[in-house]
Amino acid sequence: MIRYAPLRALLGATLVSLTLAGCGTTSPASSSASPSAPPARAAAPRPVVAQRPPTVAPGPGGLTPVFRRGTRDAGKAVALTFDADMTADQGKRAARGERFDNPALIALLRRLEVPSTIFMTGRWAEEYPAQAHEIGNDPLFEIANHSYSHYSFAGDCYGLPRLDRERIAPDVRRAFAAFRAVGARQVVPYFRFPGGCYDAAALRALAPARVTAVQWDVVGGDAFATDADAVARQVLDAVTPGSLVVLHCTRSAAPVTEDAVLRIVPELRKRGYRLVKVSDLMRR
């Protein structure tokens, strides 16, 4: 981790901002949330069960539907989601040693047995094929689509390069192809807009890809955060039954997410919450 800090510093805020592109960037207030030791449970083998994931019905004219959170029928369920961001033009940075993955976070989610939805870019899957394969074959997880390029799908979006409208559906299909190429099996037809930026035109252009767009109601605030307690506090203060939380799975620009999850998960469970995947939240 430390060896990459100088690189990030050199790259400057503008370039680095292209990595996470505001997938929930805020300035959380500092907090005094106290970390507690997670239960150490051995990860048991989990069977792969094929089940068709639920989707939201398209709007008029096949317009891409948008899912933001579960209904109250979900009960005390909450979905933690992690955006595995890597932009199409960040290959050189990865080659220089910058890490857009976060294996320790994935290992922690396994250790704590937290069902999670990973919104992965196709470029990320190409850079980390072994990890994408492992994630995509572990029933604890499901891989959802975060575009291939992580470019902006709608106008000015945190400085991301703009994707032309006619390239929107092909870009999303290219990400699904990247997941297939690494042998990922637990792939769901959900899509998260880079930066969460979208408009009616983007929803129309996305319609041929036949996905359900997934936003969130709770911003984790882990992008560029340096205080895990503050991230944990922000999440814990905002979660309500049926919440959908956006966090990140990329060390490059979300270095404290693992520590934050270590605080968030035991506290949510203490409050009686079940942690579920987006597909489970959508099912209710």
Chain positions contacting Zn ion, by CB under 5 A: 23, 83, 85
User: Smallest distance, Å, CB 61 to Zn ion?
Assistant: 27
User: Smallest distance, Å, CB 186 to Zn ion?
Assistant: 20
Q: Where are the alpha helices (DSSP H) in 62-167?
A: 91-95, 103-111, 122-127, 129-135
* Complex with Zn ion: residue 33 or 235, whichever CB lies closer: 235
Residue 218's φ and ψ, nearest 5 degrees, are -125, 120
- By the 8 A CB rule, do 109 and 140 touch? yes
* Complex with Zn ion: residue 187 or 266, whichever CB lies closer: 187
Rounded-to-integer distance, Cα 221 and Cα 246, Å: 8
User: Smallest distance, Å, CB 118 to Zn ion?
Assistant: 11
Integer CA distances (angstroms), 4 to 49, 59, 95, in order: 39, 44, 12
Give the CA dihedral 76, 219, 100, 45, nearest 10 degrees: 0
Residue number of the CB atom closest to Zn ion? 23
* Complex with Zn ion: residue 243 or 252, whichever CB lies closer: 252
User: Smallest distance, Å, CB 88 to Zn ion?
Assistant: 12
- What is the widest separation between alpha-carbon atoms in the chain? 51
* Complex with Zn ion: residue 15 or 31, whichever CB lies closer: 15
User: Smallest distance, Å, CB 101 to Zn ion?
Assistant: 14
* Complex with Zn ion: residue 196 or 229, whichever CB lies closer: 196
CA 265 to chain centre: 16
